[in-house]
Amino acid sequence: MARVPAALFVEWARRTMGDARLVELVHDAIKRRAGAESLDIDSYLKGYEADNDFKKAMRIGEKTIESERLLVSCLRKTGLSIEVDFRCPPWDRWKAGSTFVIVYGERLVDIPNVSTGMRQLAVGARDAQAIAYLTDELRSQIQIDCQVVLHPVRPGLSPDEAAKELAGLRRSRAGAIVVIGSTLVNSLSEPMAAAIIRDESGDIDYDLLPGKFQWGFLGKPSLLSDHVNDRKKEGILDRRTNRYFPRVHDDAVLPGLKAGKKTFADCGMLFMDCRKPPYLILCAGHGGCGTLGCVYALARQVEEIAARLAAGNNRFADIITVTKSKHRNTSNEIDDLSIDPDDVEFASGERMWEPSTVWMNLA
């Protein structure tokens, strides 16, 4: 058991998990203690002369902390023991054994050696790599006990069909639903993005939309995508700053490799809504490496994501940038570009998470 001074605990908790989560922890702990003594919360707190401190320290409905000093005083007077899960939010609220659904898109491909008359269903190599990586990291980096369910999405779904399929997944009582891939390969990416940035009244909050994919071959604009006439201008346009993040198209990569170039830009967008189960997550890349970069960020930058969720009331969406390069000794004609998980960055360039230190007396 780790015993931490109340003042240090409150300071650490506010920086790490945010006010809303800390208010929930304190309120739930007091409620359990009061219930164990067959008392309501007010009667319990009055017995310790902590009722005024409690009422002035926090706003329970708004889940905000008004005074650290009074909250610390309340904790000291009641001698409250709070069990803290040191996993980063939102995973500290994960119910063990819940289902983690990974939604990926299938593509239609021609494989002459298999059949000259029937098209085959396939999954992109980097989408498959993203699925395998995320499945492995759920228990190591993210640290949750879950049942992973893979959900394929057939190609060519209409917007209405895609919306209905996502609605069905949300009714399945899953703990989290992660959509892998952009609209090019996964029809559920558009309705998932809309669900995440939809406000409590049901309207889409466009202020939360970080940007739009710029495609050289899609004619109809959508929530996540716009058309550009020049493939050299493909990438993501940041709606907030009008900054452009490029994606080097595969047809431009090949001559670049032959000319000796080793690195190329790619990008994606990561959306998360963790207000309540099932958590809704979208990892959408302009190219396969962009999608993989979003998955790397989701699995490896758990502290940064926790800080962004805390700042956005358990929601955030941002652009992810990556650098793809050729590492293996294969022919240039084979698309085996990859990215380094440590090179994935949020486009804003600003980290919201700051490491904090808490001294603990271990008993």
| Predicted confidence band of residue 219 (pLDDT cuts 50, 70, 90) | low
The DSSP 8-state label assigned to residue 211 in this structure reads E
DSSP for 349-362 reads: ------------EE
For the ranges 56-70, 73-87, 96-110, the lowest mean pLDDT is seen at: 73-87
Q: What are phi and psi of 327, to 5 degrees?
A: -105, -30
Is it the case that residue 87 has pLDDT exceeding 70?
A: yes
Nearest to 180 by CA among 267, 90, 278, 294: 294
Q: Is the pLDDT of residue 131 over 50?
A: yes
Q: Look up residue 243 and give its amino acid.
A: R
Residue 92 confidence (pLDDT) above 60: yes
Mean pLDDT rounded to a whole number for the chain: 88
pTM, rounded to two decimals: 0.78
Q: Residue 103: its pLDDT value, please?
A: 98
What phi-psi label fits residue 220: left (phi over 0), alpha (psi between -120 and 50 degrees) or beta? beta
Average pLDDT over residues 245-258: 85
Residue 304 has pLDDT above 80, yes or no: yes
DSSP string, 253-300: HHHHHHTT--EEEEEEEEEEE-SSSSEEEEEEESSHHHHHHHHHHHHH
Query: What digits encode the pLDDT tens for the residues 40-53?
Result: 999 999 999 999 99
> Which residue shows structure tokens 């707190």?
45
Model confidence at 355, in pLDDT bands (50, 70, 90)? low
Q: Which amino acid is at 37?
A: E
For residues 99, 105, 108 and 110, what is the CA-based torsion angle, rounded to 10 degrees? -80
Kind plus residue range of the DSSP H or E element containing 70: helix 68-78
- Show me where the domains of the chain are located: 2-84, 91-346
Between 342 and 219, the higher pLDDT residue: 342
Q: What is the mean pLDDT of residues 37-66?
A: 94
- Spell out the residues 6+ positions from residue 167 whose beta carbon is closer than 8 angstroms to its own: none
Q: Please, which pLDDT band fits residue 354 given cuts at 50, 70 and 90?
A: low
Please determine, for residue 120, whether its predicted confidence score (pLDDT) is greater than 70. Answer: yes
Q: What is the pLDDT confidence band of residue 363, given thresholds at 50, 70 and 90?
A: very low
Q: Position of tokens 């962009």?
A: 290
Mean pLDDT along residues 311-327: 90
The neighbour count for residue 199, using CB atoms within 10 Å, is 11
- Residue 308 neighbours by CB under 8 Å, 6+ apart: 316, 318, 352
Q: Does 363 or 234 have the greater pLDDT score?
A: 234
